[in-house]
Amino acid sequence: MQKRIIYVDNAATTPLSKEAFEAMRPWLTERWGNPSSIYSIARDSRRAIEKAREDVAAAIGAKPDEIYFTSGGTESDNWAIKSTAKAFASKGRHLITSAIEHHAVTESMESLKSEGFEVTILPVDKYGLVDPAELEKAIRPDTILISIMTANNEIGTIQPIAELAEIAHKHKVLFHTDAVQAVGHIPVNVEELKVDMLSMSAHKFHGPQGVGALYIRKGIRIPPLLHGGGHERGRRSGTENVAGVCGMAAALKHAIETMPETSARLARLRDRLIEKILQIPHTQLTGHPEKRLPGTVSVVINYIEGESIILLLDRYGICASSGSACTSGSLDPSHVLLAIGLPHEVAHGSLRITLGDDNTEEDVDFIAEKLVEVVEKLRAMSPLWKG
Ligand SMILES: *Cc1c(COP(=O)(O)O)cnc(C)c1O
C-alpha cells in the first residue's frame, strides 16, 4: 500500500485543482492553434487567452488590458523591478524594498546595483511588518520604485500595503507588490491597495506551474523584459501558454469563489496546529499572530535543526518545509528569520507548515502528534539540548 501523503507545503507550490485541469485539457489535446495565427482554430486560442485575461483582471479589480501574462512570479518581479529602473533611470536611481522579500525581488534589486542603482532595504519589526514611517523617511527625491510584498512566503505576515502605497504616491514614487502568496488566499484588489504593479503566480493558488501575470496600472510605461514577436501588446514576447493561462484563470476563479469558507477553515486548522506546537517547550511562533495568511503555521523549535525535522516528518509522509523552498538545501539561515531578529542558532530550527484545500483536522492532529515525537528524538541527540 502506498504511504498516505500529508502535503503541507502549499507556500512552495499547490496541487493543480480539478477546475484548472479541466480548463487546460482541451488546449493540451485537441485544440492547439498558435494564438497569433489567423485561421479559425488559432482564433479560438486567442479568444481563450482574452477570456482568461478578463477573469484574472476581474479577480483583482483590474481591467483586462492591465494584465500581462508571464512565466510566473519570478518573471513578474524581475520585469517590474528591472524595467521600472530602466524606464526611470533619468529621473533617479534609488529603489526601496524590505528585508523579507522573496529572492526574485531581492536578487533583481541586487542586479541593479552593478548598474549604478542604489537600494535601501527597510528593516521589519519582530513580526515582519514594515513601518510606514520608516518607509516615508527612506524616500528621496531620486527614488523611483518601492517594492514590498503583500504577504510573506515564510512567516505569512501580511503588510499594510494600502498604507504603504499611499505614502509612495504622496511622494510620486511607483509602488510594486509581490502578491504571489496573497492572490487567491486573501482579498486582493488593486484599486483598494492602490498599487501600480502587482506580481502573481498560478501555482500558488492551485493553477499550473510556469505561468503568472504582472498587473501594470494603465498609463505606466515600462519596457519589455523579453523581446521578440511583440506578444502581450508588445510588452512580453513569447508564444502564449494557452493551457497555462486558462488553467490560471480557472484556478483563480475557483479560489476566489471559495475564499470565504476556505480561509475560515484554514485559519481554524492553522490556529489549532499552532496551539498544539507551542505546547512543546522552547518553541516560538514566527510572523504576526493575527496579520498572517490563513494557512501559514511558522515556528522555530530551539536546539534542533529545521532540516532534520523535515526529514523525520517525511518518514510519516508529511511534506513540510524549513523556510522557503529556495533556501532549502542551503546552510544559511533564512534572511527573513534573521530580519525579524532571531539569532542564527534559533533561525536554524525553523519549521513552516502551509496548509491547503485538502488538509483536514485529522491531518493537523497527526502532524502535531508526530512532531512531538520527532522533536523529542532530535533533542535527545542534540549536543545543544540539556533537558
Ligand atoms: C513562489 C514565489 C515567487 C516565485 O514565483 P514562481 O512562479 O515560482 O516563479 C515569488 N514571490 C513569492 C512571495 C513566492 O512565494
pLDDT reported for residue 382: 86
Looking at this protein, which amino acid is placed at residue 144?
Answer: I
345 and 371 together in one domain? yes
Instruction: Compute the distance between CA of residue 181 and CA of residue 190 in angstroms, rounded to an integer.
Output: 15
Ligand 1 touching residue 149 (CB < 6 A): yes
Instruction: Compute the distance between CA of residue 300 and CA of residue 346 in angstroms, rounded to an integer.
Output: 7
Q: Which cell is 97 given? A: 524594498
Ligand 1 touching residue 348 (CB < 6 A): no
Q: How far is CA 387 from the centre of its chain?
A: 38
Ligand 1 touching residue 152 (CB < 6 A): no
> Is the residue at 218 inside a domain?
yes
Strand pairing report for 296-301 and 283-285? antiparallel
Which residue in 118, 105, 114 sits closest to 148, CA to CA? 105
Burial letters 225-262, b for 16+ CB under 10 A, else e: bbeeeebbeebbeeebbbbbbbbbbbbbbbbbeebeeb
324: CATH: 3.90.1150.10
Looking at this protein, which amino acid is placed at residue 200?
Answer: M
Strand pairing report for 212-216 and 318-319? unpaired
pLDDT reported for residue 384: 80
Q: Name which residue sits closest to atom 10 of ligand 1, judged by CA.
A: 73
> Is the residue at 1 inside a domain?
no
Which residue in 319, 301, 328 sits closest to 359, CA to CA? 319
100 CA distance to ligand 1 middle (Å): 13
Q: Name which residue sits closest to atom 8 of ligand 1, judged by CA.
A: 73
Assign 186 to helix, strand or coil.
Answer: coil
> Is the residue at 138 inside a domain?
yes
Contact 168, 220 (CB under 8 A): no
pLDDT reported for residue 154: 97
Q: Which residues are the active-site residues?
A: 326
Residue 332 lies in domain? 6-14+260-386
> Is the residue at 300 inside a domain?
yes
324 Cα nearest atom in ligand 1: 15
> Is the residue at 158 inside a domain?
yes
When divided into structural domains, the chain yields a total of 2
20 CA distance to ligand 1 middle (Å): 19
Q: Phi and psi of 28, rounded to 5°?
A: -105, -10
Looking at this protein, which amino acid is placed at residue 11?
Answer: A
> Is the residue at 324 inside a domain?
yes
Query: One digit per residue, pLDDT tens: the chain, 387 residues?
Result: 567 899 999 999 999 999 999 999 999 999 988 999 999 889 999 999 999 999 999 999 999 999 999 999 999 999 999 999 999 999 999 999 999 999 999 999 999 999 999 999 999 999 999 999 999 999 999 999 999 999 999 999 999 999 999 999 999 999 999 999 999 999 999 999 999 999 999 999 999 999 999 999 999 999 999 999 999 999 999 999 999 999 999 999 999 999 999 999 999 999 999 999 999 999 999 999 999 999 999 999 999 999 999 999 999 999 999 975 545 555 688 999 999 999 999 999 999 999 999 999 999 999 999 999 999 999 999 888 876
307 and 250 together in one domain? no
105 CA distance to ligand 1 middle (Å): 10
User: What is the value of pTM for the model shown?
Assistant: 0.97
121 CA distance to ligand 1 middle (Å): 19
272 and 314 together in one domain? yes
147: CATH: 3.40.640.10
Ligand 1 touching residue 72 (CB < 6 A): yes
210 and 277 together in one domain? no
Q: Which cell is 367 given? A: 502532524
pLDDT reported for residue 2: 65
Q: Which of 76, 106, 153, 161 maximizes ligand 1 atoms within 8 Å of its Cβ, making it the mutation to test the pocket?
A: 153
